[in-house]
Amino acid sequence: MKFAFLGSSDFSAIILKGLVKEGVDIGLTITRSQKPRERGRKKTPTIVKKVSDRLNIPCIETDNPDEAIPEIKKQKVRGVILASYGAILSKDFLKSIKYPLNIHPSLLPKYRGAAPIQRAIMNGETVTGVTVFLMDEGMDTGDILEQEPVKIVPFEVFTELEARLAEKGAELVLKVIRKIEEGKRLKRVKQDHSKATYAKKIKKRELVVDWNREANQVVNQIRALSYKPGAFTCWRGKRLKVLRAIPLKGMEKEPGTVISLRGFIVVSARRNLVCIKEVQPEGKKKMDALAFVNGYKISVGERFTGICADL
């Protein structure tokens, strides 16, 4: 049975590679069109496009999936597998295939929407999961076919959890595909829409570390954005990405103030302390806190703020 695969992110690419490895017939992939990456850089293909090229799978780059309908009909594709593509499929697209499968990294109906992994970490969740469901015209509202919880490891960052959820997603959708291929009936469970929550897209202003929040909240913000796109603070007029941190109890000073440099960078939050373990200075590679302290001669008493020269 032939499938089309829709996706645009690292989460998508991990699933695509896993399905191909297991022998799933992917006739084509559909990914978002090329856009400039970061400031002033040339247009770059998505990671799904790059993986498709390596696997010799035809790839359609478009922000309008309807443009792929003729190719789907030409190849007699019976099902699509969507994993973090970045758009809701139209009624016409859904009518063009029999099995519209979506892999969503949350326990639906919780955390519907664009940023379920980041929002779960930001909110201090200890458990999330993966859901495979049949798409309809709503946003993550279709009937559930497979679902499994996944524990969030303490101080795990977004990209680490994303990879684990992608592997679980590939495993669960493969179970669904095998049932379809064997002619077995798919058990469909309707979502309880009254319990739905939404994971809105991360906004640019949310990338700035807010030291006026409690230490646990600051650390969860940092974890939810690491390693991509990376939360940042402002120091000496430049951006400093904060990639790994843990909360500590202690006597706080003015939020954002560096109070200790003994192996790590300890910064005061509104309540308790944030111990920074890894950073990335603007235009440089990531480094541990000790290397940063030694190389940049940061001092106790300096302050991290939310105001940079380019903001």
* Arithmetic mean of pLDDT, 188-203: 97
What pLDDT sits at residue 263? 86
Q: What is the pLDDT of residues 269-311, one digit of tens each?
A: 999 999 999 999 999 999 999 999 999 999 999 999 987 755 5
Q: Which residues pair with 2 in a beta bridge?
A: 25
260, β-bridge pairs? 266
Cα separation, 2 vs 266, in Å, equals 54
Q: What is the pLDDT of the chain when averaged over all its residues?
A: 95
DSSP label of 285 = -
Where residue 134 falls among pLDDT bands split at 50, 70, 90?
very high
Question: Could you please report the per-residue DSSP string of 124-169?
Answer: T-SEEEEEEEE--SSSS-SPEEEEEEEEPPTT--HHHHHHHHHHHH
**Domain boundaries along the sequence of the chain:** 2-199, 204-296
Contact 77, 27 (CB under 8 A): yes
Percent of the chain with pLDDT over 70: 97
Asked whether 201 and 225 are in contact (CB, 8 A), the reply is no
CATH architecture, domain defined by 204-296: Roll (3.10)
Residue-level pLDDT at 310: 53
Q: Please give the structure tokens belonging to residue 169.
A: 């997603």
**Which CATH architecture fits 2-199?**
3-Layer(aba) Sandwich (3.40)
Joined tokens for residue 178: 């095998």
Question: pTM of the full predicted structure?
Answer: 0.95
pLDDT in tens, 26-79: 999 999 999 876 655 688 999 999 999 999 999 999 999 999 999 999 999 999
Residues 11, 165: Cα–Cα separation, whole Å: 8
Q: What is the pLDDT of residues 210-244, one digit of tens each?
A: 999 999 999 999 999 999 999 999 999 999 999 99
Give the integer Cα–Cα distance in Å for 100 and 141. 13
